[in-house]
């Protein structure tokens, strides 16, 4: 399939779309230099996933466009916005599936969908954020492997947090999952990274 190159942003392009273009171009230009994902070194994978994360982190959603979800405890304790989709993991999924799923205009559209999804957050306490981060294991820099102990949704369910919505108050697990609205692509591909002990 022919490589897709999105149009360059102009001075009228919104900041978040400029950042999306940079994230896509950086990964696309890098992957163009390789024929197979197995050629990507651990160090390069870290650079690519970190770049993706940073562009997501720098372009937070306005409150009205975000999930408006929080844990009960985050209202009274020191809190932070948890990018529950774990952008570095999503970047890894994108890179691992680059040559099969992210080619052409359709691949670019999927990239954009996942990028925008990664900007969603849930307000949690700083301690809860540490616990949630513990579900992602990355020992590659020590010769180990990268894996997830649980998926995006399951890590919240396993911790059994009381989830609040800004307008509705405490919500059910069913509504929590509905509001998160994790793309089926992510739910399917994260299975390849999950290693339960």
CA–CA dist 39, 193 (Å, integer): 19
Q: What is the pLDDT of residue 3?
A: 80
Q: What is the pLDDT of residue 141?
A: 75
**Torsion angle, CA of 79/81/82/83, rounded to 10 degrees?**
-170
CA–CA dist 112, 163 (Å, integer): 28
**Positive or negative torsion for Cα 118, 123, 16, 48:** negative
Reduced to 3 states (helix: H, G, I; strand: E, B; else coil), residue 152 is helix
Answer whether 108's CB lies under 8 Å from 6's CB: yes
Tens of pLDDT, residue by residue over 65-83, are: 899 999 999 999 999 999 9
Nearest CA-CA partner of 122 in 92, 152, 148: 152
**Whether this model's pTM surpasses 0.85:** yes
**Helix residue ranges, H only, the chain:** 15-32, 42-57, 87-96, 98-101, 104-118, 126-133, 152-159, 173-180, 184-189
All residue ranges of the chain with pLDDT < 70 are: 1-2, 197
Identify the bridge partners of residue 194 per DSSP, sorted by sequence position. 148
Q: What is the pLDDT of residue 168?
A: 94
CA–CA dist 110, 91 (Å, integer): 12
Q: What is the pLDDT of residue 4?
A: 87
Q: What is the pLDDT of residue 1?
A: 57
Indicate the burial class of 160 (C-beta count within 10 angstroms; 0-12, 13-18, 19 or more): exposed
* H-helix or E-strand spanning residue 148: strand 146-148
């Amino acid at each position: 399939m022919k490589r897709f190159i999105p149009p360059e942003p102009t001075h009228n392009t919104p900041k978040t779309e400029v950042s999306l273009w940079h994230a896509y171009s950086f990964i696309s230009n890098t992957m163009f230099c390789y024929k197979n994902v197995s050629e990507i070194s651990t160090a390069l994978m870290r650079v690519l996933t970190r770049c993706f994360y940073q562009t997501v982190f720098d372009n937070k959603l306005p409150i009205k466009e975000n999930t408006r979800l929080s844990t009960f405890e985050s209202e009274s304790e020191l809190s932070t916005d948890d990018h529950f989709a774990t952008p570095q993991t999503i970047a890894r999924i994108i890179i691992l599936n680059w040559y099969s799923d992210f080619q052409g205009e359709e691949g670019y559209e999927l990239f954009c969908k996942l990028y925008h999804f990664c900007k969603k957050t849930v307000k949690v306490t700083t301690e809860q954020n540490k616990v949630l981060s513990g579900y992602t294991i990355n020992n590659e820099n020590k010769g180990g492997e990268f894996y997830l102990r649980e998926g995006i949704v399951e890590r919240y369910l396993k911790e059994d947090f009381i989830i609040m919505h800004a307008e509705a108050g405490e919500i059910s697990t069913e509504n929590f999952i509905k509001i998160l609205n994790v793309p089926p692509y992510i739910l399917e591909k994260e299975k390849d990274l999950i290693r339960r002990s």
